C-alpha cells in the first residue's frame, strides 16, 4: 500500500471521478450508525482538493452533516473487469456553502456536470438546493492494474 503524505491528486484520479456518473456519500447518524446514499449532483474543484454536492433543503444527510461533518464519497465505474478494476474514495469534512458568490460558483460547477441540476435551477432558482463543500483530507485509490492486494492501494493525504 502506497502512502503519499502531503501529495496532490493525480489527473488520472480526477479524470476517474469526473467520468463517474453516480457516487456514494457516507454520513453518520446521531446514534453513530453509518448511512450511505447515491449521489449524482457533485463536482470537483481546486485540483480535487474540494468536492461540492447539492441536495434538497432539509434532506436527512444535511442533519447528519450538521451533527458530524466527517464524510466519505466513493466513486466506482460499473462493469469493470477484475484486472482493470479501480475505485476512488475521498474523505473529508463537509459544511454548508453559505456565501452568495460561493453558492453561485458551486451551482455553476455542479450544473456543468449534471443536466438535472442545471434544468432544476433554471426552473426553480438557485435556492432550490442547498450546497455543500467537502474539504478533502484523504484520497484512497484502488487500482488492480498494479496487482491485487496491498500494492493496489494508494493513500494520498492532503
pLDDT digits (tens, 9 = 90+) for 106-147: 999 999 999 999 999 999 999 999 999 999 999 999 999 999
**Confidence (pTM):** 0.94
Tell me which DSSP letter residue 19 carries.
T
Sequence-ordered strand ranges (E) for 29-129: 34-39, 42-45, 50-55, 70-76, 86-96
Tell me which DSSP letter residue 146 carries.
G
Extents of the domains making up the chain? 2-157
SS3 helix, strand, coil % of the chain, rounded to 5? 35, 40, 25
The alpha carbon torsion through 37, 43, 17, 27 (nearest 10 deg) reads -30
Lowest mean pLDDT among 1-10, 17-26, 67-76: 1-10
CA distance 79 to 94: 30
CA distance 35 to 13: 25
Of all residues in the chain, the percent with pLDDT exceeding 90 is: 95
At 6, which helix (H) or strand (E)? Answer: none
Q: Which SS3 state, helix, strand or coil, does residue 29 take?
A: coil
Can you name the CATH fold of 2-157? Answer: Pnp Oxidase; Chain A (2.30.110)
Q: What is the pLDDT of residue 8?
A: 79
Q: Which SS3 state, helix, strand or coil, does residue 116 take?
A: helix
Question: What's the rounded mean pLDDT across residues 34-61?
Answer: 97
Cα(first)–Cα(last) distance of the chain, in Å? 17
pLDDT class for 156, splitting at 50, 70, 90?
A: very high
The yes-or-no verdict on residue 46 having pLDDT over 70 is yes
Amino acid at each position: 500500500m502506497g502512502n503519499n503524505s502531503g501529495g496532490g491528486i493525480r489527473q488520472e484520479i480526477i479524470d476517474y471521478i469526473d467520468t463517474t456518473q453516480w457516487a456514494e456519500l457516507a454520513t453518520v447518524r446521531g446514534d453513530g450508525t453509518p448511512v450511505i446514499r447515491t449521489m449524482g449532483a457533485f463536482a470537483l474543484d481546486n485540483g480535487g482538493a474540494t468536492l461540492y454536492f447539492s441536495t434538497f433543503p432539509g434532506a436527512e444527510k444535511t442533519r447528519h452533516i450538521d451533527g458530524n461533518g466527517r464524510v466519505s464519497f466513493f466513486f466506482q465505474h460499473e462493469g469493470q473487469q477484475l484486472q482493470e478494476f479501480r475505485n476512488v474514495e475521498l474523505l473529508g469534512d463537509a459544511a454548508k456553502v453559505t456565501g452568495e458568490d460561493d453558492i453561485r460558483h458551486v451551482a455553476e460547477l455542479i450544473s456543468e456536470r449534471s443536466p438535472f441540476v442545471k434544468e432544476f435551477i433554471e426552473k426553480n432558482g438557485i435556492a432550490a438546493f442547498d450546497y455543500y463543500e467537502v474539504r478533502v483530507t484523504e484520497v484512497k485509490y484502488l487500482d488492480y492494474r498494479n496487482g491485487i492486494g496491498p500494492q493496489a492501494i494508494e493513500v494520498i493525504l492532503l
